[in-house]
Amino acid sequence: MNRINSFPPIVDSNSRILILGSMPGAKSLQMQQYYAFPQNQFWRIMFQLFDEEFSEDYETRINLIKKNNIALWDVIESCERKGSSDTEIKDEIDNNIPELIESHPKIRTIFCNGQKSYKNLLKILGKDFKIPIVVLPSTSPLHTAKFEEKLERWKVIKDYL
C-alpha cells in the first residue's frame, strides 16, 4: 500500500478559525486541492454560509475562506490508505497542530470536519486544550445526512468569526 501525504495548511495572519479534515481523499490528492471530490459538500457549504455564488475555481474557493479568516488543514500528515474512506486509514502520522496554532495566535476555535478528525485531534491536543474544539458533521458523501442538515450545523462557524 502506498503512503499518502496531506497538503500544507491554508492559513494566514488573519485566520481566526481552523477547520480540520482527516486526510485528503483520492480525488483531492490527484487534483492537489482540498475537497476536490465533487460529491463532497465542503465548498457548497462554505459558499452558502457566506452568501457567495458557488464557484468550481479553486483559487476563488481559497480566496473565500481566507476572506472570512478561515484556515484549512488536516489532522493527519501522512498515512497508508486504500481509496478515500477514513475507515481505511492505517499507520498515520499527525500534523503538528499545536505548532500551527502557536504560530497563528488569532486562531480562537477549531472546527473538525467529521468524527475522525475530532478523535485524532483529541489524541494530539488532549481534552483540556486552551481553545474550543467543535465537531461538525462530515461533508463527505459517506456521511449520508442531507445537505440542509449539514449546512444548518455548519452555520455555527459564523458565531465564532
SS3 content of the chain, % helix, strand, coil (to 5): 35, 20, 45
Q: Which of 2, 5, 14, 40 is catalytic?
A: 40
Which spans in 81-136 are helix H?
97-103, 115-125
Total Cβ atoms within 10 A of residue 144: 8
Q: Note every long-range contact of 58-61, with CB atoms under 8 Å and residues 24 or more positions apart, other chains counting.
A: 58/33, 61/34
40 is catalytic: yes
- Whole-angstrom distance between the N-terminal and C-terminal Cα of the chain? 41
- Catalytically annotated residues: 40
